[in-house]
Amino acid sequence: MKETNEEVEELQRLLEAAYERSTEHLQSIVTAERRLTATELVQVLQGMCTLNLATVTAKGEPRISAVDGHFLHARWVFTTSGQAAKVRQLRARPAASISYVDGERIGVFSHGRVEFLTTDHPDFAEIEAHLVAHYGSSPSTWADEIAYCRLEPHWMVGYAHDKNRGTPEPLSRTGTTPRAQSTPGWSTGLWMGAAARWSDHPLCGPPPRR
């Protein structure tokens, strides 16, 4: 958990505002008893989360893909190949939606705009250190061009189906995430146009040698 008290408070305001302007249909599902607070979210969303990322083509058609996501300072961060279609779409049309769903255990839904983080960005060093600690290597070494992205949300809702059983455990304790450090996943670029660099990807064979 890297969030400051101010960031948690800001996230709580965002969650409350999003819920208040949501439809009756959503409010009938994400009831007060099922809503996750900012404090609960930052406790649960530790480790790597496989996210569904929605982008838009030049024709206005929706596209969905998966990325490794990390919830850092109350915002989703992910990397992908700079040659990926999603990167081209986000550079032209940065509006995006992200969802993380783990069965009925938890659901987190966000809308916002994606910003691209370069090495001179004031937050880059901390993000890079977190990713290296998680994966055991820098995403920048996985392909010739890697894009570092962060969603700046203007709408977010967190949901747990049965909070009566207690706040969901952090992902790092559930056994599903984070992935083993030596096995980068959706962020590596295997599915984003860099398959040639990953003939030994875990889906195809032994993990890559370093």
Of residues 144 and 153, more confidently modeled? 153
Q: How do residues 105-125 score in pLDDT, each as one tens digit? A: 899 999 999 999 999 999 999
What is d(CA 147, CA 119) in angstroms, rounded to the nearest whole number?
11
pLDDT-derived band at 205, boundaries 50, 70, 90 = very low
Which two three-digit tokens encode residue 51? 């996210």
Structure tokens at 81: 């190949």
Type and span of the H or E element at 149? strand 146-159
Question: Angle 111-67-76 (CA atoms, 0-180°, nearest 5)?
Answer: 45
Task: Give all domains of the chain, ordered by start, each with its CATH number.
Answer: 5-198 (2.30.110.10)
Whether the per-residue pLDDT at 174 is higher than 50: the answer is no
Contacts for 81 with CB less than 8 Å, ≥ 6 apart? 87, 143, 145, 146, 147, 189, 192, 193, 194
Name the pTM for this structure.
0.81
Q: In this prediction, what percent of the chain has a pLDDT beyond 90? A: 73
Q: Do the beta carbons of residue 49 and residue 105 sit within 8 Å?
A: no
Token pair belonging to 174? 């559930």
CA distance 47 to 69: 9
4-42 in b/e form (b: 16+ CB < 10 A) is eeebbeebeebbeebbeebeeeeeeebeeeebbebbbbb
